[in-house]
Amino acid sequence: MSGYLLDTHIAIIALVEPDRLSSAVRSAILAGPNVLSVVSYWEVLLKSMKGNLKVGDPRAWWLDALDQLAANPLVLRPDHIAGVYTLPDIHKDPFDRILIAQASVEALEIVTLDAEIPRYASARIRVLC
């Protein structure tokens, strides 16, 4: 697989405030192919339930995000989970760590605004900020 795995924060911003994204990120999203992990759906749903994120109905957010970002869904598989094991211990956010592992396993470039994720960049993990 090739393309761009959009992290949760990028997907949210791309939907509501795309001008906040760098021109490189906006160009990548427009060029695609874009991928949105079901992990992002899970993160949005949990944060919405806790009152930490406002996206309207978080259950509708997923289909809307896939449609508006012309993204393909990526399910969570055992090999993605196993990929977390080999990641360096840079930060503790479990959602970010599984997205990084998914990007690595699927040979996708992860698109992010997170300042810690570029520290994972390697021959196997490509990062666009």
Mean pLDDT of 99-120: 96
Q: Tell me what pLDDT residue 113 has.
A: 94
Q: How many domains does the chain have?
A: 1
Give the Cα separation of 125 and 105 in Å (integer).
Answer: 9
Residue 78: pLDDT band with limits 50, 70, 90: very high
- Residue 45 makes CB contacts below 8 A (sequence gap 6+) with 58, 59
- Residue range of the domain that includes 47: 4-128
Instruction: Considering only CA atoms, give the Rg of the chain.
Output: 14
33 cis-preceded (ω within 30 degrees of 0): yes
The answer to whether residues 93 and 112 touch, using CB atoms and an 8 Å cutoff, is no
Rounded mean pLDDT of 34-51?
A: 97
User: What DSSP letter does each residue of 45-75 carry, written as one string?
Assistant: HHHHHTTS---SSHHHHHHHHHHHTTEEEE-
* CATH number, position 28: 3.40.50.1010
